[in-house]
């Protein structure tokens, strides 16, 4: 496990513990998501935070101005700490680790459902219900359309991939013929 992942997990665990004490676990997750989305959307803001010659106090002041009314003090203090320690690049990894920790604690799992075409609302709900039953957790899902799947669906929950796609079945069939 790389050092960055270990660091992200430690920060995420500490942030989760604080959020749990205050009863704002889901809110903190949404706030982290907002910050990560902002950093991904605004390349200049991201560069500003990672530029080493800019005083960390100025970075913190900008963060406070941008987020003080949109995020909790717990998240703002965590951002401040990350910037002070030069670990602002870990924000995305911390968000990912936090969602896993919070999901486990709340009996939830995040899933990505890949399909060849857009699923209807009822089809999507059926897939979510099926995988909630399989995993024993409440599934929070998003859908991604990938036409190269040809048909069927693939569902990724954490590190596990359930492949019920036509292209996956054809690949497995081809491998069986080769053996």
91 with 162, same domain: the answer is no
Q: Which two tokens stand for residue 65?
A: 């101005």
Q: Total structural domains in the chain?
A: 2
Q: Final residue of a domain: which of 104, 121, 150?
A: 104
Q: Final residue of a domain: which of 81, 104, 127?
A: 104
164 with 146, same domain: the answer is yes
89 with 124, same domain: the answer is no
74 with 160, same domain: the answer is no
Q: Residue 155's pLDDT is what?
A: 94
pLDDT tens sequence across 50-82: 888 899 999 999 999 989 889 999 999 999 999
Residue 21 CA, distance from chain mean position: 22
37 with 90, same domain: the answer is yes
Q: Final residue of a domain: which of 104, 122, 146?
A: 104
pLDDT tens sequence across 108-151: 888 999 999 999 999 999 999 999 999 889 998 999 999 999 88
CATH number at residue 62: 1.10.520.20
SS (H, E, C) the chain: CCHHHHHHHHHHHHHHHHHHHHCCHHHHHHHHHHHHHHHHHCHHHHHHHHCCCCCHHHHHHHHHHHHCCCCCHHHHHHHHHHHHCCCHHHHHHHHHHHHHHHHHHHCEEEEEEEECCCCCHHHHHHHHHHHHHHHCCEEEEEEEECHHHCCCEEEEECCEEEECCHHHHHHHHHHHHHC
Q: Residue 146's pLDDT is what?
A: 93
92 with 9, same domain: the answer is yes
CA nearest neighbour of 11 among 109, 95, 71:
95
Q: 31: domain range? A: 3-104
45 with 116, same domain: the answer is no
82 with 124, same domain: the answer is no
Residue 1 pLDDT exceeds 60: no
């Amino acid at each position: 496990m790389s050092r960055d992942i270990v660091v992200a997990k430690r920060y995420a665990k500490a942030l989760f513990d604080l959020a749990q004490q205050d009863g704002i676990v889901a809110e903190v997750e949404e706030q982290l998501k907002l910050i990560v989305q902002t950093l991904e959307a605004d390349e200049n803001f991201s560069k500003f935070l990672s530029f080493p010659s800019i005083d960390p106090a100025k970075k913190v002041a900008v963060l406070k101005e941008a987020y003080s009314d949109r995020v909790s003090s717990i998240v703002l203090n965590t951002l401040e700490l990350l910037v002070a320690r030069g670990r602002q690049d870990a924000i995305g990894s911390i968000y990912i680790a936090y969602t896993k920790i919070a999901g486990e604690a709340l009996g939830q799992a995040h899933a990505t459902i890949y399909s060849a075409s857009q699923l209807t609302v009822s089809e999507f709900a059926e897939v979510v219900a099926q995988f909630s039953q399989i995993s024993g957790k409440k599934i929070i899902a998003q859908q991604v359309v990938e036409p190269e799947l040809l048909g069927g669906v693939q569902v990724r929950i954490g590190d596990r991939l359930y492949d019920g796609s036509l292209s996956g079945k054809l690949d497995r069939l081809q491998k069986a013929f080769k053996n």
